Amino acid sequence: MPGNDTAGLPSEAFFTPGTSSFTEFLAAHRPGLLPTARSLPDGVRMPPDRFPHGTTVLALTYRDGVLIAGDRRATMGNLIAQRDLEKVHPADDHTAVAFAGTVGLAVDMVRLYQVELTHFEKVEGTPMTLAGKATRLAAMIRQNLAQAMQGLAVVPLLAGYDLSAPGGGRGRGRIFGFDAAGGLYEKQDFYAEGSGSPYARGALKKLYRPGLTRREAALAALQALYDAADDDSATGGPDLNRRIFPVVCVITADGFERLPEPETGELSREMVEARTTRPDGPHALL
């Protein structure tokens, strides 16, 4: 860390007893490195077409754990800023975070969150609980409130496999949503975030059922993202010509896994082909 008089040796800050939070460590010793430190002047609000924004992301539980997915489009107003944005990232072995909102701030927040979890585990000697991970992410979002009020909001979606099930039973997948002020809400079965989320949640409400297989859950996620793209211009559907497909990841007792592109590509083609005869997608079972 800069500011050390002895070349090659860490500064005294590294040897000062304190919190196991890396974010709080930065706030105390190098606050300028925090993404929330770069606020706009008072009274300034950033127009939505000046920075890339990312949508839509979703998560749903299934038989073996939890699935989290996101489309690939980033927009600046009515322009497509990027067609292959990565919105879903592993946070640790059994947790993943996806984001909607201002891309630059979101990417920095995800990287900081990854370091936060690693730092905690190294200092405490044990991984943070899934509920603790959700609470820590909520605190990081709350630190960004000033920028969110100026139009630079980041709203993540957290999914993880909880190994510490009550009573020593089998673990389970869990989903946590947030608001721009850092409010934390655990969601049951499925949830979606971003501008296309109302349409994605509507599709999942129609398609979701307990005990889905991995393939069924992946198809339900792709169908929901397709419906979101069908009604929300900021959400991108599968681009078969450019071979750009949504990111689909699963988290089970074995850990985090991103579905290989050939698999998501095959499922996307199957879905698009089925939509040629049923443009509105599959019907719910009665």
Annotated catalytic residues are 55
The candidate with the shortest Cα–Cα distance to 251, out of 143, 54, 21, 89, is 89
User: Would the CA dihedral through 224, 227, 228, 233 be positive or negative?
Assistant: positive
The answer for residues whose C-beta is within 8 angstroms of residue 251's C-beta and 6 or more apart is 65, 66, 67, 68, 94, 95, 96, 159, 160, 161, 173, 257
Helix axes 214-231, 261-275, angle to 10 degrees: 60
Q: Is residue 98 packed enough to be buried (19+ CB in 10 Å), middle (13-18) or exposed (0-12)?
A: buried
Bridge partners for 187 per DSSP: 175
Tokens of 67: 């699935």
Between the alpha carbon of residue 66 and those of residues 9, 94, 146, 174, the distances in Å are 43, 10, 32, 7
